[in-house]
Amino acid sequence: NAGVTQTPKFRILKIGQSMTLQCTQDMNHNYMYWYRQDPGMGLKLIYYSVGAGITDKGEVPNGYNVSRSTTEDFPLRLELAAPSQTSVYFCASSYSQGPNTEAFFGQGTRLTVV
C-alpha cells in the first residue's frame, strides 16, 4: 500500500494564480482531511470529508475548495492564490473517527505564493 500520496511536494505560485493539490489514498478510508501548517502553529483543519460526495468546512476554509467524487481522491483547490496561503499543506485519512482512530498523513506540499 502506498498510503496517502500528495502531489506536488513543492510549488511556487504567483498571486492570483490557481492550483489543485492532489491527494489520494489506497486504504479505502472514508474520512479524509486537509490541514495547513504554519510556523509555530498547530495544524489547522481546512476541509474534511466523511465519504464520497460529502465534504464540510473545517476551521480555516476561506480561499479553498474541495471535492470528493471517489473514496480515494480528495483534491484541494486554491482559486486565487494569496500570500497568506503560503504554508505547508497536509492531507490525511482515517478509517473512522473517534478516540482510537489513527490518522495517516501524506508527505506534505510546501506552497509559496509570491
Q: Which residue of 84, 107, 112, 114 would you call a contact of another protein, by CB under 8 A?
A: 107
> Of 50, 23, 33, whose CA–CA distance to 107 is shortest?
23
CB of 80 to another protein, least distance (A): 26
Structure-block grid coordinates of residue 40: 509555530
Q: Can residue 14 be called a binding residue for another protein (CB under 8 A)?
A: no
Nine-digit cell at 96?
473512522
69 contacts another protein (rule: CB under 8 A): no
Site string for another protein, 22-61 (x = CB under 8 A): ------------------xxxxxx--x---------xx--
Say how far apart CA 59 and CA 62 lie, in whole Å.
9
37: which 3 cell numbers? Answer: 501548517
